[in-house]
Amino acid sequence: MDPLSILSVTCNSLQLVEAAWKLFFNATEIYRSAQGASEGNKMFQDAAARISQLNRAMVDNDDLPEAIRAIAKESHEVSDELLALLKDLTVAEGTKHRKLESFTIAMKESRPGHKGKLSGLIGKLRNLQQEVMAQIQFLILYDPWTP
């Protein structure tokens, strides 16, 4: 075997070992977690739940302008979609085969499609947050009731 082929096989083997190590580490983190999710996903779940609750209150508030309520409604829908995606990445309480379920979830988390969906939803929420902030700034600056 020529040296270049040996180097190529070695690099591919190391990539495989690295991927297996990351998968094992993530599965172990999920398995040991009291919530049944990785730290990152638990943080996103908590944030999405708070955002959803806040947006629900904004949608139900008739004193807010319609533009802000529309953005809040869209943000509420996106945060609910994010919560559903993250719930799919959580080991259900009382699962009989917790180790296997943790490994399965770690595999799901490592898929590029799942990461892309998660990043996309988080990006949408950020954009909607910026829209709400711009609307509020406009209201503060151009409030017709302020002398």
Domain segments of the chain: what residues? 3-141
Q: What 8-state DSSP symbol labels residue 33?
A: -
- Residue carrying the six token digits 């609750």: 53
Tokens of 101: 């379920």
Residue type at 124 in one-letter notation: K
Tokens of 27: 């599965």
In angstroms, the CA 91 to CA 94 distance is 9
pTM: 0.72
Tokens of 9: 């096989």
* Per-residue pLDDT, 145: 59
* Per-residue pLDDT, 147: 55
Greater pLDDT, 47 or 107: 47
* Longest alpha-carbon distance in the chain: 84
Dump pLDDT digits (tens) for 86-141.
888 777 777 777 777 787 777 777 777 777 888 898 899 899 989 988 888 888 88
In angstroms, the CA 6 to CA 15 distance is 14
* Per-residue pLDDT, 19: 76
